[in-house]
Amino acid sequence: MPTARPLSPHLQIYRWQLTMVLSIIHRATGVALAAGTVLLIALLLALAAGPDAYQTVRAFCSSWLGMLMLFGWSWALCFHLCNGIRHLAWDTGWGFEIPRAYLTGWTVVGASLVMTALIWACVFAQGGAA
Amino acid sequence: MNTTDLQTPLKRARGLGSAKDGTHHFVVQRITALALVPLALWVIWLALALVRADYARAHTIVHQPCAAVLLTAFVIATFWHAQLGLQVVIEDYVNSRWLEVTAQLAVKFFCAVGALASVLAIVRIALG
């Protein structure tokens, strides 16, 4: 809507900071995970439908595209989960001090990467998603 | 507070603000988030159990009553939480009114159908 009134500054004005980046990533991973529910639906419907349908979904999951998507979604889930807990802590009023917001922010980044690594270590320890 | 306003503070609080639903959206988003913390961790564990499972094994795992119940809870909380989150993203970024309404409806229908299809699939697996 065109208007002569001044607009509040947006992303191109502010210096990039961890807290804003994590906020953006939280939204982005949320949207990505919502899109990822399509695979969840497909998997459940296939498991309900029978062996042939299930095998088709499994074959897709173990293709390089499927693996790439699963890898992305696994990290998105870990990040959204960890940062979601950070948000829930904020909802109780805890952790708004700037140093603490940075500390918990970096903790979320580290924890999401470690969790993702552990998940895929478990996958490959079982001999891969084949 | 406007002294000429005849509404009591309680009425104002119940007046539910500009969105007309007060804190309901916020509260439900938090409740589903809280539920999804343990459920998501359990689903990761379940997914790892399914990595090497063939159809029969996967069916047996999800067929268990405990797994079926938790998976149903996960699916409902997930689609509910996703709808609430996507709703806010659309409210924030889609400026065209028609596009916004269309997107909001599409998200609601997708999440409703997704949840129904998933739950019915789980029921079929659990009873099959």
Interface predicted TM-score of the whole assembly (ipTM), two decimals: 0.90
User: What is the model's pTM?
Assistant: 0.90
Query: In this complex, do B121 and A48 lie within 8 Å of one another by their Cβ atoms?
Result: yes
* Mean pLDDT confidence for A24-29: 97
**What is the per-residue pLDDT across B71-121, written as a single tens digit (0 to 9) for each?**
999 999 999 999 999 999 999 999 899 999 999 999 999 999 999 999 999
Query: What gap in Å lies between CA B58 and CA B65, rounded to an integer?
Result: 14
**What is the per-residue pLDDT across B9-60, written as a single tens digit (0 to 9) for each?**
776 666 666 666 778 899 999 999 999 999 999 999 999 999 999 999 999 9
Give the pLDDT band (50/70/90) at residue B124.
very high
Q: Is residue A33 within 8 Å of B44, Cβ to Cβ?
A: no
pLDDT of residue A107: 98
- Contact residues, B window 1-20, toward A, CB-based 8 Å cutoff: none
What are the tokens at B93? 């970024």
Residue, of B52 and A34, whose pLDDT is higher: A34
Query: What gap in Å lies between CA B11 and CA B23, rounded to an integer?
Result: 14
pLDDT of residue A63: 94
Residue B89: burial class (beta carbons within 10 Å; 0-12, 13-18, 19+): middle
Fill in the DSSP letter of residue B20.
Answer: T
- Counting one residue from chain A and one from chain B, the pairs whose CB atoms sit within 8 A come to 84
- Residue type (1 letter), A98: I
Residue B30: its chain A contacts at CB < 8 A?
A: 88, 91
The shortest CB-CB distance from A88 to any of B33, B59, B78 is to: B33
